């Protein structure tokens, strides 16, 4: 019998990523979608051939009894919808970031473990072949001791012009929680999730409140509530350092940079595309030289989740790792707000 899937949050990521992937799997049946606006959720269902639509998630669970749930709402509603789905015994994939606080991410992790449900987060960048390759090379010790990692999740003028990405209460923050979360996850995954000791950060709100138009549409500068850039230092147990740069808007040359560099005492590496290099007598020598980065990350993230739901032993970005990322994000925001370092 096919597994029934329900989507909570009928927005762009639900349609482009979740629905379009589920439609490729014959083991699944897209059964229902939930959204707050009756007309928009009806349109979404009709456009995507989904037989049932609801404006209330409780009613959907009672009527449809799905096996699998995708939570694609704005960040503030992730936790309540994940907990509800888990209470109904569903396996869940939740969009990133896990939640808007570490306490919520912990509750979500604990509920999944207590109920024996799968909880995965759509940290899709870690599913690129480039990440798999570097993860294995770091583990083999090709880079030696990786003591400095540089994480960049930067946009020049890329404040999202849709959704609620500039609303602090609904999203929990700006580029750190939205973009930085992705590259922090990819970096920590490659490094094997080392223990974090202390963080310090500084954030700015310099452009979002002044301008109103960018590469990703228009926003209201009077309602721009989140940071537009944040910079941080993350000290690891054992002496390593992660340097973080993240922005929605920052006067840099590139439109967008989403990448991680790893500096070891034997070799260095860049994540997208995966390249490993070292210095021989002052000359740069490549040990690995991929020319293009794997762009198929989203379908691979969805594939891993569905395969796990169907019993395959594959890697997903799980509830425990989601909690670690959320703790880190919260500590970075706390540090930036207080102007002092935060020990984890």
Residues that bind ligand NAD in the complex, under the rule CB under 6 A? 8-14, 34-37, 72-75, 77, 95-96, 122, 124, 162-163, 178
> Do the Cβ atoms of 125 and 135 come closer than 8 Å?
no
Q: How far is the CB of 77 from ligand NAD (least distance, A)?
A: 4
Using CA atoms, how far apart are residues 114 and 121, in angstroms rounded to an integer? Answer: 18
Burial class (CB in 10 A: 0-12, 13-18, 19+), 290: middle
By C-beta, is 34 or 244 nearer to ligand NAD?
34
By C-beta, is 18 or 106 nearer to ligand NAD?
18
CB atoms within 10 A of CB 313: 6
By C-beta, is 142 or 216 nearer to ligand NAD?
216
By C-beta, is 15 or 113 nearer to ligand NAD?
15
Pairing mode, if any, of strands 68-71 and 3-8?
parallel
By C-beta, is 162 or 286 nearer to ligand NAD?
162
Q: How far is the CB of 336 from ligand NAD (least distance, A)?
A: 20
By C-beta, is 15 or 129 nearer to ligand NAD?
15
> Do the Cβ atoms of 210 and 159 come closer than 8 Å?
no
By C-beta, is 96 or 137 nearer to ligand NAD?
96
Nearest one of 156, 158, 171, 155 to 216, comparing CA atoms:
158
| DSSP symbols for 206-271 | SSTTT--EETTEE--GGG--S-SEEEEEEEETTS-EEEEEEESB---SSSEEEEEEEEESS-EEET
Q: How far is the CB of 182 from ligand NAD (least distance, A)?
A: 7
> Do the Cβ atoms of 130 and 271 come closer than 8 Å?
yes
Helix (H) or strand (E) holding 136: helix 129-140
> Do the Cβ atoms of 184 and 328 come closer than 8 Å?
yes
Q: How far is the CB of 297 from ligand NAD (least distance, A)?
A: 9
Q: How far is the CB of 150 from ligand NAD (least distance, A)?
A: 21
């Amino acid at each position: 019998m096919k597994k029934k899937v329900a989507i909570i949050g009928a927005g762009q990521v639900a349609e482009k990523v979740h629905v379009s992937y589920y439609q490729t799997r014959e083991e699944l049946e897209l059964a229902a979608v939930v959204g707050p606006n009756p007309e928009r959720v009806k349109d979404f269902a009709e456009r995507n051939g989904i037989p049932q639509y609801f404006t209330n998630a409780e009613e959907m669970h009672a009527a449809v009894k799905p096996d699998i749930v995708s939570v694609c709402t704005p960040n503030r509603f992730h936790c309540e919808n994940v907990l509800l789905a888990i209470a109904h015994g569903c396996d869940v994939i939740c969009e990133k970031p896990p939640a808007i606080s570490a306490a919520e991410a912990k509750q979500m992790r604990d509920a999944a473990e207590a109920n024996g449900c799968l909880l995965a987060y759509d940290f899709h960048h870690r599913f690129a072949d480039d990440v798999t390759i570097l993860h294995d090379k770091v583990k083999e010790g090709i880079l030696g001791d990786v003591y400095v990692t540089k994480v960049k999740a930067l946009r020049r003028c890329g404040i999202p012009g849709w959704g609620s990405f500039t609303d602090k209460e609904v999203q929990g923050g700006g580029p750190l929680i939205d973009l930085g979360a992705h590259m922090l996850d990819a970096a920590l995954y490659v490094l094997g999730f080392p223990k974090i000791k202390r963080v310090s950060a500084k954030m700015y709100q310099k452009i979002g409140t002044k301008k109103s138009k960018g590469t990703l549409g228009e926003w209201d500068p009077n309602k721009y509530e989140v940071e537009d850039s944040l910079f941080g230092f993350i000290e690891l147990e054992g002496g390593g350092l992660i340097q973080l740069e993240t922005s929605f808007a920052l006067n840099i040359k590139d439109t967008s940079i989403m990448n991680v560099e790893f500096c070891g005492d034997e070799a260095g590496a860049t994540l997208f595309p995966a390249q490993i290099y070292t210095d021989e007598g002052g000359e740069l020598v490549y040990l690995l030289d991929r020319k293009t980065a794997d762009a198929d990350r989203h379908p691979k993230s969805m594939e891993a989740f569905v395969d796990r739901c169907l019993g395959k032993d594959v890697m997903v970005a799980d509830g425990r790792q989601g909690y670690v990322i959320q703790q880190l994000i919260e500590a970075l925001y706390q540090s930036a707000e207080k102007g002092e370092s935060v020990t984890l």
